């Protein structure tokens, strides 16, 4: 069974929307601001932007190339391409690592997306109308302290994701992203206008994000910025590769990658420019951690005209943006299971979703029942899943992908996937994939050890 059993994108635009739907998600709106806030703001943002350009974009091009040339799940595509290139079939490890990372990411992603769903209903109920910082914090603490509610919302989110995944890429997903992406942009612009005009601390927020202070520099924050770049662009685990398999031959890869990367970065920066002015205006801590968005945004909505309606729409859109990302996180594993032929696509989706759901219980409980439990030293179950997948597995996957495409993939395959690429772009791409991207990832890993 190959990609045709999961469907094909009906146009290049739909691929861009779907891949942007994969990239834009909790990583931009929830994770980017809170990790930037924990790591000194400006230095982190600068390192993140550099990682996007120097490491992220070449690897995104490489993943799309591999997917479209391999036309199967990442595991099968890598096996086929390694064989066609006359090299070691062990390169399929890229696909396997992606499946493992995908399970880990999907498990905690669903828990946090469940929070966004729950917040949609809280908004509708008017829980945050005229709320102050203390109470917004209290609502959040009460909520994450309740294991039943977290498991409930985790279950709802996972069920929605599995339902859509089971139907294949061409049904539902296309329609969803077409409405979702413009809606999300509209509300972000609305929130930004509010942050500029009403927070009274817009410039403070801007300067936190965009003026790096040398004393904040550390190897560790650059390392975390690199993990964020991989996570936010959905790279290093085969998600974009899996989507590339459904892309028609006529679509241009480089232009698509630049558009997806640009949209994704824009949403992350907009989110930061919205959240930090609210944080400073209300005396919140930028380093508050995973709750940052769930305390600051309700505060803004609770105190703006028609905030109840806008807030509800916003959390609904964030939940939907999370769905379009979660689908792509599960895609490498689902496509692999489905193409083995034992189960159809629906059953494959249910199996993968069930495993990820069980693993997710650990993350849900790490905010309450298991809050004292550490998996990695000084890291809760949730933190450990997040750290291992985003900061270790995705960059390692990135090294392997860039080295494979840069050094091992048969030249004809690459040329065939990137026809009409101007010479300068070729030189840049090959140089990046051979030396710059793997070298930079390696250096950043080394910097993190030195701290």
Positions touching ligand PFF (CB under 6 A) are 22-23, 25-28, 105, 231-232, 234, 237, 239, 325, 328-329
Nearer to ligand PFF, 79 or 325 (CB): 325
At closest approach, how far in Å is the CB of 105 from ligand PFF? 5
The residue number whose beta carbon is nearest to ligand PFF equals 27
* Residues whose CB is less than 8 angstroms from the CB of residue 136 and which lie 6 or more positions away in sequence, other chains included: 128, 295, 296, 298, 299, 302
Identify whether the C-beta of residue 205 lies closer than 8 Å to the C-beta of residue 273: yes
Q: Which residues is 416 bridged to in the sheet?
A: none
Identify whether the C-beta of residue 278 lies closer than 8 Å to the C-beta of residue 296: yes
Nearer to ligand PFF, 209 or 370 (CB): 209
At closest approach, how far in Å is the CB of 240 from ligand PFF? 7
Identify whether the C-beta of residue 260 lies closer than 8 Å to the C-beta of residue 60: yes
Nearer to ligand PFF, 23 or 364 (CB): 23
Report the candidate in 225, 3, 265, 230 with the shortest Cα–Cα distance to residue 98.
Answer: 230
Report the candidate in 335, 338, 326 with the shortest Cα–Cα distance to residue 176.
Answer: 326
At closest approach, how far in Å is the CB of 393 from ligand PFF? 10
At closest approach, how far in Å is the CB of 305 from ligand PFF? 30
Nearer to ligand PFF, 110 or 303 (CB): 110
At closest approach, how far in Å is the CB of 194 from ligand PFF? 23
Report the candidate in 41, 2, 28, 67 with the shortest Cα–Cα distance to residue 417.
Answer: 67
Q: Hey, what are 27's tokens?
A: 């990583």
Distance, CA of 300 to CA of 309 (rounded, Å)? 12
Nearer to ligand PFF, 67 or 307 (CB): 67
Nearer to ligand PFF, 26 or 278 (CB): 26
At closest approach, how far in Å is the CB of 20 from ligand PFF? 10
Identify whether the C-beta of residue 400 lies closer than 8 Å to the C-beta of residue 94: yes
């Amino acid at each position: 069974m190959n990609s045709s059993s999961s469907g094909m994108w009906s146009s290049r635009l739909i691929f861009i929307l779907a891949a942007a739907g994969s990239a834009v998600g909790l990583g931009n709106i929830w994770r980017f601001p809170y990790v930037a806030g924990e790591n000194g703001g400006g230095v982190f943002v600068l390192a993140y932007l550099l990682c996007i350009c120097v490491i992220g974009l070449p690897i995104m091009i490489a993943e799309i190339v591999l997917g479209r040339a391999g036309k199967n799940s990442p595991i099968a595509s890598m096996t086929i391409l390694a064989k066609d290139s006359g090299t070691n079939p062990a390169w399929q490890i890229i696909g396997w690592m992606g499946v493992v990372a995908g399970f880990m990411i999907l498990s905690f992603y669903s828990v946090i997306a469940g929070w966004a769903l729950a917040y949609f209903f809280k908004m509708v109920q008017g829980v945050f109308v005229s709320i102050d910082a203390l109470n917004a914090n209290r609502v959040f603490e009460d909520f994450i302290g309740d294991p039943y509610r977290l498991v409930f919302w985790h279950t709802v989110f996972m069920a929605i994701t599995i339902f859509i995944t089971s139907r294949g890429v061409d049904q539902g997903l296309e329609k969803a992203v077409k409405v979702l992406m413009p809606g999300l942009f509209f509300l972000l612009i609305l929130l930004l206008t509010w942050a500029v005009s009403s927070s009274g601390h817009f410039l403070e927020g801007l300067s936190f994000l965009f003026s790096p202070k040398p004393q904040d520099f550390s190897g560790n924050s650059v390392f975390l910025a690199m993990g964020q770049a991989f996570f936010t662009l959905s790279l290093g685990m085969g998600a974009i590769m899996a989507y590339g398999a459904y892309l028609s031959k006529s679509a241009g890869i480089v232009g698509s990658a630049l558009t997806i990367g640009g949209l994704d970065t824009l949403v992350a920066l907009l989110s930061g420019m919205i959240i930090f002015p609210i944080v400073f205006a209300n005396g919140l801590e930028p380093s508050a951690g995973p709750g940052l968005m769930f305390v600051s945004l309700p505060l803004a909505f609770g105190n703006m005209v028609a905030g109840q309606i806008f807030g509800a729409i916003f959390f609904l859109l964030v939940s939907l943006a999370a769905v379009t990302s979660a689908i792509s996180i599960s895609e490498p594993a689902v496509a692999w299971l489905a193409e083995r032929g034992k189960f159809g696509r629906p059953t494959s989706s249910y199996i993968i979703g069930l495993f990820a759901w069980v693993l997710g219980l650990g993350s849900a409980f790490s905010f309450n029942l298991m809050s004292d439990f550490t998996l990695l030293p000084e890291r809760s179950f949730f933190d450990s899943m997040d750290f291992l997948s985003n900061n270790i597995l995705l960059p390692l996957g990135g090294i392997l992908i860039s080295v494979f495409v840069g050094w091992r993939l048969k030249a004809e395959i690459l040329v065939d996937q990137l026809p009409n690429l101007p010479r300068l772009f070729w030189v840049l791409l090959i140089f990046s994939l051979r030396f710059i991207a793997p070298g930079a990832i390696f250096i950043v890993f080394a910097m993190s050890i030195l701290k």
